[in-house]
Amino acid sequence: MTQTTVVSTRFAGRIALVSGGAKGIGRAIAMQLAGEGADVAIVVRSDRTAAESTAAEMRALGRQALVCLCDLTDSAAVAALVAEVENGLGPIDVLVNNAGFGAPGALLTLSEESWDQVIIGNLKSCFLLSVAVARRMQSRKLGAIVNIAGASAHRSYPGAGAYGPAKAAVVSLTVQMSLEWASHGIRVNGVSPGPIREAGSGWEAREVALAEEVSRLPLKRAGQPTEVAKAVAYLCSDDASYTTGQMLIVDGGGVNTWYLAG
């Protein structure tokens, strides 16, 4: 029997901006959106080499791709970034706030500087970019925004002092934006990944403690960046046209368990 491959064009003619889209989860999201027809701008702080490599892969798919360098914690730089993307590709239809990072540090020993870095790098960056883009989206009465939080937003992780609070605040910000911007035709949702690692990359040997925890997840494996990307693409697409203010937790079922804490 002949097998038919269905190629999705959900984002044909649309412009997407993916922060941190050069590597890891962000790269998978950028590639997923480009694969479904979007022209994509990816933003990194400094790693232009990784960003250009991802952009080249998107161009090979026949898409337009733009690489932008910007520190998303700087409001003036963010305003210039949005203008650069709109001048280069056109009005932004889809924004994915993926840039962020964790840093270990129990609360009793966490420095004030580390606290500020994690809160600002995960939360303020999401706020600044979302507002700058939503101001443009509201005049067109359309737009979809997806914020990447993390399973740590929904269950606390010992020793991850500022990260859980920062990501929990991203969840709250997602709901806040969804309520304030619904009347402007802008949907805002979020995805919370659990442990995400490239299969076959040998990460288990480098991160032994995490590998042990992962073995106790209901699905007993780490997730793939593409598994997060597909959830993000759904929420960005018209398939989710009646969904706003929601979090999709992509974590192998870990958030529902009590037996993970060591």
Ligand X SMILES: NC(=O)c1ccc[n+]([C@@H]2O[C@H](COP(=O)([O-])OP(=O)(O)OC[C@H]3O[C@@H](n4cnc5c(N)ncnc54)[C@H](OP(=O)(O)O)[C@@H]3O)[C@@H](O)[C@H]2O)c1
Instruction: Give 37 or 195: the residue with its C-beta nearer to ligand X.
Output: 195
C-alpha closest to that of 93 among 27, 131, 54, 38: 38
In the numeric block, the tokens 């737009």 are attached to: 143
Catalytic residue among 163, 234, 242, 259: 163
Complete DSSP assignment for 101-165: ----B-TTT--HHHHHHHHIIIIIHHHHHHHHHHHHHHHHT-EEEEEE--GGGTS--TTBTTHHH
The CB-of-184 to ligand X minimum distance in angstroms stands at 25
Task: Calculate the CA 205 to chain-centre distance.
Answer: 26
The CB-of-107 to ligand X minimum distance in angstroms stands at 19
CA atoms of 22 and 180, how far apart (whole Å): 30
Instruction: Give 146 or 186: the residue with its C-beta nearer to ligand X.
Output: 146
Instruction: Give 41 or 148: the residue with its C-beta nearer to ligand X.
Output: 148
The CB-of-103 to ligand X minimum distance in angstroms stands at 10
CA atoms of 237 and 210, how far apart (whole Å): 33
Catalytic residue check, 259: no
Instruction: Give 12 or 56: the residue with its C-beta nearer to ligand X.
Output: 56
The CB-of-223 to ligand X minimum distance in angstroms stands at 8
The region that residue 113 occupies, defined by phi over 0 for left and psi between -120 and 50 for alpha, beta otherwise, is: alpha
What is the identity of the amino acid at 93?
A: D
Q: Which residues sit at the interface with ligand X, rule CB under 6 A?
A: 19-20, 22-26, 43-47, 70-73, 98-102, 121, 125, 148, 150, 193, 195-196
Instruction: Give 50 or 137: the residue with its C-beta nearer to ligand X.
Output: 50
Work out the burial of residue 12: count CB atoms within 10 Å of its CB; fewer than 13 is exposed, 13-18 middle, 19 or more buried.
Answer: exposed
In the numeric block, the tokens 């793939």 are attached to: 224
The CB-of-246 to ligand X minimum distance in angstroms stands at 17
Give the E-state strand segments of the chain in sequence order: 15-19, 39-44, 65-69, 94-97, 143-148, 186-193, 247-250
The CB-of-102 to ligand X minimum distance in angstroms stands at 6
Inter-axis angle of helices 75-88 and 125-140, nearest 10: 40
Instruction: Give 38 or 148: the residue with its C-beta nearer to ligand X.
Output: 148
In the numeric block, the tokens 């995490």 are attached to: 210
Active site residues: 163
